[in-house]
Amino acid sequence: MELKKIFDAGDIFPKPLLEVDNKPMMQWVLESLNLKANYIFIIQKEHQKKYNIQSVLKILQANCKIIELDQITEGAACTTL
């Protein structure tokens, strides 16, 4: 998939769920990490309501923990804090 198409689609659909070669981007990330770990995903509450991201994450990592945020933060470091 062309990079510009990914970013354009990301304006209306959460990037972790965008499909690249028939897999959501989040699946590619998890497969490339190839780690048996306790995964904690931080998602936007709005995206959960609109796209049910939790169901996809639970399929990819059944025992993952999911934290929903009410607002957008200043970036990844702030989100994890």
* Structural domain count of the chain: 1
As given in the structure block, the two tokens for residue 71 are 């607002």
User: What is the structure's pLDDT at 81?
Assistant: 81
pTM of the model: 0.77
State yes or no: pLDDT of 20 exceeds 90.
no
Rounded percentage of the chain residues whose pLDDT exceeds 70: 86
Instruction: Kindly state the average pLDDT of the residues 60-78.
Output: 92
- For residue 39, the enclosing domain spans 3-80
Residue 35: pLDDT band (50, 70, 90) is very high
User: What is the structure's pLDDT at 80?
Assistant: 83
